[in-house]
Amino acid sequence: MILILLGPPGVGKGTQAKLLAKEFGVPHLSTGDILRAAVSSGSPLGKRADDYLQRGELVPDDIMIGVVGEELNRSMYESGFILDGFPRTIAQAEALGAIFQRMNVTLDAVISFEGNEAELVRRLSRRRMCRNCHSIFNLEIDRIPNPGVCPRCGGELYQREDDKEETIRNRLEVHQRLTSPLRDYYVRRKLLIPVQGVGEIEGIHKRILSLLADCHAKR
């Protein structure tokens, strides 16, 4: 199973990607995690990406394509994967299509999550990251006993610049403007499955599985 998950920040792609990865027994590839690791390493690629992340802007195509292309060369993805957060532009989608051809694999579906802006801003502003292990938590969902202490390693939890309200609203505006053509791109290829991302997690998961089954039955 190879799936792409699209949607604005905070809409729940990561949560559903983990559930789908477990359901189908394939890896979950989060480009956000890869970028954060690159930033933390201080590599030239990470420094370039960090400039855009701090401003709440999308990372340019050349950086994202390079990061994802290198990752997909690993053998762990040969049997399938859930791709969360990439592509975000048509140029990235076309480059990803070329990568899939080289891998000799077929994209099964593109799940497009939708959500209300006010709810997305509220969700994202509650996120915190650990300075030590870089784990990300939501103060509302994860019910952390001490909102300033990481429950995994005891490190300090802080709010990233790109999780502050002004930056969040900018990220959502940029995302909508730049990725609207991408949804149309996958609609034309009869791969897009729209899903409401706000609601009960298990209910959304079951709905996705039902839609995937319907899609498979029609092919």
Q: Of 160, 169, 183, 207, which residue is the catalytic one?
A: 160
Q: Of 36, 123, 127, 128, which residue is the catalytic one?
A: 127
Q: Which domains does the chain have, with CATH numbers?
A: 2-116+180-218 (3.40.50.300)
- Give me the residue label for tokens 């979950």: 28
* Predicted local confidence at residue 118, as pLDDT: 85
The answer to whether 127 is a known catalytic residue is yes
The answer to whether 152 is a known catalytic residue is no
- Give me the residue label for tokens 């784990």: 135
- Give me the residue label for tokens 């890896």: 27
Cis peptide before 87 (omega within 30 of 0): yes
The answer to whether 102 is a known catalytic residue is no
Q: Which of 41, 70, 42, 39 is nearest to 52 (CA)?
A: 39
Residues 93, 87 contacting (CB under 8 angstroms) = yes
What's the pLDDT band for 219 if we cut at 50, 70, 90? low
Strand locations in 76-139 (E):
81-84, 109-114, 127-130, 136-138
Reply yes or no on whether the pLDDT at 64 is more than 90.
Answer: no
What's the pLDDT band for 17 if we cut at 50, 70, 90? very high
The answer to whether 164 is a known catalytic residue is no
Neighbours of 116 (CB within 10 A): 12
Q: In what order do the strands lie in the sheet with 136-138?
A: 136-138, 127-130, 157-158
Cα→Cα distances 27→87, 113, 134, 153, 198, Å: 17, 20, 20, 24, 24
Task: Calculate the average pLDDT of the chain.
Answer: 88
**φ/ψ of residue 47, rounded to 5:** -65, -40
The answer to whether 122 is a known catalytic residue is no
Encode pLDDT of 150-174 as tens digits: 999 999 999 988 888 888 898 888 8
Helix ranges restricted to H, 42-104: 44-54, 61-72, 90-103
Q: Of 36, 123, 128, 171, which residue is the catalytic one?
A: 171
Encode pLDDT of 77-99 as tens digits: 888 999 998 898 899 999 999 99
Tokens representing 43 are 């590599």
